[in-house]
Homo-oligomer: A and B are copies of this chain.
């Protein structure tokens, strides 16, 4: 299944192909591809090169992390995310090493790293689905996280599955085309009139 972007101006193949599936194949991700995803994330830009991103990950059937992460997801997300062979929690490091005050780019830079990770995944035929629907406090407790870290995003990772295997309501979402605002609503070469 393909859900290529319906872009009006040419864009690179990685960004064109990226989308967020709910149906994953029952196929393990080779360890080398996992490291490539995190490696790509690590080469994202960040304010003062502070790299305020950390990643907890779990592989299905290996160790405890997968189970610990899936237990933090809201039930709607649990239903489909359990088909993914890998789950990740993206964590922002909140205080700056530079001035030991809050780093105002902690969340922004984590976003840059996860975007880079998503595109690296696509270059290896792997898809990523980010979720805000998880219990932050449960993650904090499960992983004994100090206040200097914030679990911002849960991420399901794997190869594409079959939409037919999803419950009806999720299959509809899976097959719906991707939509975005027109550029003229987003970019301003004169006054800022959003």
Question: Footprint of B on A, CB under 8 Å?
Answer: 5, 7-12, 14-16, 18, 20, 32, 35-36, 38-45, 47-49, 51, 53-59, 63-65, 91, 93, 104-105, 107-116, 118-120, 123, 130, 132, 143-145, 149, 152-153, 178-181, 183, 186-192, 194
* Contact A20–B45 (Cβ < 8 Å): yes
Copies of this chain, whole number: 2
Besides the known contacts A107-B107, A113-B115, A115-B116, 15 further A-B residue pairs in the complex with CB atoms under 8 A apart? A9-B38, A11-B36, A12-B14, A15-B116, A20-B45, A38-B183, A42-B180, A47-B130, A49-B180, A54-B186, A54-B192, A64-B190, A108-B108, A112-B115, A116-B119
Asked if residues B189 and A63 are in contact (CB atoms below 8 Å), the reply is yes
Nearest Cβ on chain B to A94's Cβ, whole angstroms: 12
Provided the pairs A14-B12, A15-B43, A43-B16 are in contact, do residues A187 and B123 lie with their beta carbons within 8 angstroms? no
Main SS at interface, chain A: mixed
Determine which of B8, B9, B183, B192 lies in contact with A143 in the assembled complex, contact meaning CB atoms within 8 Å: B192
Chain B positions within 8 Å of A63 at CB level:
189-190
| 26 residue pairs from A and B, CB less than 8 Å apart | A9-B35, A10-B36, A10-B39, A11-B40, A11-B120, A12-B123, A14-B119, A15-B43, A15-B44, A15-B120, A18-B43, A42-B186, A43-B178, A45-B115, A45-B130, A49-B179, A49-B180, A51-B181, A54-B186, A57-B188, A57-B189, A58-B189, A59-B189, A108-B153, A111-B112, A144-B192
Chain B: CB-nearest residue to A143: B192
